[in-house]
Chain A
Amino acid sequence: MVQQMVEGVNAILTIGWYLCLYRVAVDKLPTIPYPLDMDLENITPKRNVLTVSELTRMVKQLLESNYTDIWISGEVSNYTRASSGHIYFTLKDERAVIRTVLFKGFQKGIRFEIENGLKLIVHGALSVFEKRGEYQIIADFLEPEGLGALQLAFEQLKEKLQKEGLFDESKKRPVPAFPDTVGVVTSETGAAIRDILNVIRRRHSGVRIIIYPTLVQGDEAAQSISKAIKKANDRKEVDVLIVGRGGGSIEDLWPFNEEVVARAMYKSSIPVISAVGHEIDFTIADFVADVRAPTPSAAAEIVVKNKVELIRTFADLHRRLFETMTRSVQTRRELLSRFTIETLQDRLTRLLREKQMVLDDLTKSLTASIITNLTRLRGRFEKLVGQLDVLSPLATLSRGYSIASRMRDGRTVLTTADVRPGEEISTLLLDGRVYSRVQDTEKAGGTPIS
């Protein structure tokens, strides 16, 4: 295409050149007959010298009036975006190149990023930039060749944000277990809010909802959504944020594929649940969100599921509190019923009876053991008495022995040395005493009487 264009332009330039030459030639055609007094100056073909500007203007007029509505395909190179916001690049194919400019005013409808190597179909008009002697295409529309423009924009942004880490699992926060207050960023008149409120009402969840109204389609929607997310973060009154809208065409859902929305969601300090369109619709917002809900209704389910669980937990605790207390009192009452006065008396009587029996037993065995002891003692006593009898001096006396003792001091006379002649002694006999005086003493062989 580029090549065809360039050939066309070249052809025109060539024609233009020939036209110039032709005009010069026609102007200078000699009239017949030749005057004899030919002026030298007039003979020489007259040169119509154009200024650069004049020629360029001619070329410009020629090109700009003939190429006002062209479609051209080619590959992007030398892409630059000037500080003015205008985009410049070169379109090329194997054999030719053509400069292209996309002014800022025409960029609004273009959602994908233009980048080198991208194959584009461009619509626009040819223009000659006199100052540089260049011609270029002033583009007013362009789309990627092959892939749809939106699809390309989606893939490009997805790749970019993925590289930046906006989709990282590690950055995702869990939805709070017990959200009291749920923020919803969506249209107040849309299907999404209706579905969400239906679910929440059906589940009797006791969740407070705050709607942050926003546009959800059209050019202004992305900004509006990101502002609503920021507002919710500024106000800090909700525990979790549902961001979404009901189903629609890819164009309708497009705001949720915009970078500004993705960044607002990523920056949000409140956990975000995305809820865009139907189950099959995947948007950039779904990748950035902490949790992706397939639909707005599903987002509501996620939010109230926890709340419903919380209420169940509470109800269960409440029931158990009273049950355990009732049971505890019941147990103690049963325990108490075992200790009435009657049962106590009974128990005491039984106890006393038992003790009495033990006492009786003890008494009985005590008596028995005393008797045994006494009998044994008596036997021993009688034996001892017998022994005593044998040892008694009386028994000795009865066998014919007698015991003499000195009168003066009563000492028993054992040896001859105990008495002196003339000493008075008393002799004990079996039935009385004999008093006598010692005539003499005589030691029997020198050995004492035993």
Chain B
Amino acid sequence: MAEKDNFEEALKRLEEIVHELEKGDIGIEDALKLFEEGTSLSKLCAKKLSTVEKRVEILKKGEKDEEVLELFQKLDEE
């Protein structure tokens, strides 16, 4: 869940950057710096979004009665 916080922070920072750039009263050097930061944040967010995609797991008992998360196969049916 710590990752999720990062994600939300990244999104928040990205929003700030876009606002700052859209205001337009900023030097090109600073704008480029912000843009660079923005693109790396954007990449980070996109990566986070794609890594959590479409995984369905189920909590099962393993061989030694320990709890394990297995991929839930039923999703592939139908």
Contact = CB atoms under 8 A, between A and B. Distances in A.
Interface of A: 178, 180-181, 188, 193-194, 197, 201, 206-213, 231, 235-237, 239, 310-311, 313-314, 317-318, 320-321, 324-325, 328-329, 332
B4 interface: yes
Interface string B43-62: 00110011011111111100
B4 A180 contact: yes
Interface residues of B, number: 37
B58 to A, nearest CB: 4
B56 A328 contact: no
Contacts of A193: 74
B75 A197 contact: yes
A328 B21 contact: yes
A180 B52 contact: yes
11 contacts: A178-B4, A180-B1, A197-B74, A201-B54, A209-B55, A235-B67, A321-B38, A324-B18, A325-B31, A328-B28, A328-B31
A128 B38 CA distance: 86
A314 B56 contact: no
Contacts of A328: 21, 24, 28, 31
Given A178-B8, A180-B52, A317 B14 contact: yes
Contacts of B39: 321
Interface string B13-54: 011011001101000100100010011001001100110111
B52 A206 contact: yes
Nearest to A188: B58
A207 B52 contact: yes
10 A-B pairs with least C-beta separation: A206-B53, A211-B58, A324-B21, A209-B56, A321-B38, A208-B55, A325-B35, A320-B18, A180-B4, A324-B22
